């Protein structure tokens, strides 16, 4: 039996920047089924109509502004912040205002800003009719040219654990029972958001989403398929600003308090990222990534 991971956290929300913030808001309202929770200064906070927001959209050059981790245990959060300070990691206290808890902000080696905060209201999750909107925000994947440095930061500093690796191309990291909350992909265009994901309720929802995306003239970019690492079902599309968005379900779960897990190492290739053998994500193939997996391409959001 292994020790619990140092950090127990969940992805709270993702913050995006886009030149046409209002246009992007309408996309998530009309296509994804999100609603505007509140507007604080120029930041639009979108959620499920009940509970904490899951997405922030701010005007500016397209890219990842930040992502946030909820650490629900106050003692755990204080201990994490103290450990960061002892390690010499810069921690900035933030007060985002509105219905947002105070935060502790840190940056990873690539400069991605991470908000750490306490418990939030998740009552809006699981509250919709099946298939009509995602259940919740799920994970982020970051493009980097400093794989080992990034992995060391998330494991040794933030207290994540490695679930799987695809040789030196991909690393999947967990901070709760789910296979990954953060993943790192090797890229010739580092410091970018490769994609982020929402969770769906189950396989039947994928059919509904494919039909609804087609009805709204939003092409499916990759999938449906099943990833090897994580074993989750997946489907990708792009939003109106060019961010790559994944819909995911059936993510593998880990029980670190009951068993010891050794990270698996997968071979590089399209049948690792899709066990069903479908073609790789076209934006990675276009970038000339190894096995169609390493590069990232696309117009915006750190996915170019």
Tens-place pLDDT, residues 216-273: 999 999 999 999 999 999 999 999 999 999 999 999 999 998 999 999 999 998 899 9
- Domain match, 147 and 260 both: yes
> Distance between CA atoms of 151 and 154, rounded to whole angstroms?
5
Where residue 289 falls among pLDDT bands split at 50, 70, 90?
Answer: very low
Domain boundary among 84, 117, 150: 117
Do residue 279 and residue 173 come from a single domain?
A: yes
Is residue 275 predicted with pLDDT exceeding 60?
yes
Tokens of 155: 């494991």
Shortest CA distance to 279 belongs to which of 224, 204, 208?
224
Tokens of residue 35, six digits: 């609603």
Percent of the chain with pLDDT over 70: 89
Check whether residue 45 and residue 171 sit in a common domain. no
The count of structural domains within the chain is 2
Res 298: pLDDT: 38
Average pLDDT over residues 65-76: 96
Q: Residue 279 maps to which CATH number?
A: 3.10.180.10
Residue in 232, 205, 209, 230 with CA at minimum distance from that of residue 221: 209
170 and 287 both lie in a single domain: yes
- Where residue 200 falls among pLDDT bands split at 50, 70, 90? very high
Average pLDDT, the chain: 89
Structural domain span for residue 212:
138-292
**Between 294 and 139, residue with greater pLDDT:** 139
Res. 293: pLDDT tops 50 = no
Q: pLDDT class for 303, splitting at 50, 70, 90?
A: very low
């Amino acid at each position: 039996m292994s020790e619990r991971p140092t950090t127990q956290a969940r992805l709270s929300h993702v913050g995006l920047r886009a030149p046409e913030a209002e246009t992007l808001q309408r996309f998530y309202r009309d296509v994804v089924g999100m609603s505007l929770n509140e507007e604080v200064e120029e930041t639009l906070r979108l959620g499920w109509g009940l509970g904490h927001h899951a997405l922030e959209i701010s005007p500016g050059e397209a890219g990842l502004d930040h992502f946030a981790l909820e650490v629900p245990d106050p003692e755990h959060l204080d201990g994490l912040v103290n450990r960061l300070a002892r390690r010499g990691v810069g921690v900035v206290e933030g007060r985002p205002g509105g219905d947002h808890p105070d935060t502790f902000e840190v940056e990873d080696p690539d400069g991605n800003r991470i908000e750490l905060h306490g418990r939030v209201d998740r009552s809006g999750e699981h509250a919709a009719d099946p298939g009509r909107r995602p259940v919740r925000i799920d994970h982020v994947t970051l493009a980097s040219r400093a794989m080992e440095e990034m992995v060391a930061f998330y494991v040794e500093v933030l207290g994540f654990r490695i679930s799987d690796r695809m040789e030196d191309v991909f690393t999947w990291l967990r901070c709760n029972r789910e296979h990954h909350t953060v993943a790192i992909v090797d890229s010739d265009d580092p410091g970018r958001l490769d994609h982020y994901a929402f969770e769906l309720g189950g396989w039947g929802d994928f059919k509904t989403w494919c039909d609804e995306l087609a009805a709204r003239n939003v092409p499916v970019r990759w999938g449906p398929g099943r990833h090897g690492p994580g074993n989750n079902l997946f489907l990708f599309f792009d939003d109106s600003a060019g961010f790559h968005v994944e819909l995911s379900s059936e993510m593998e779960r880990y029980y670190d308090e009951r068993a010891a897990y050794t990270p698996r190492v997968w071979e590089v290739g399209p049948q690792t990222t899709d066990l069903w053998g479908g073609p790789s994500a076209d934006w990675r193939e276009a970038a000339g990534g190894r096995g169609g997996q390493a590069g990232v391409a696309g117009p915006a959001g750190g996915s170019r």
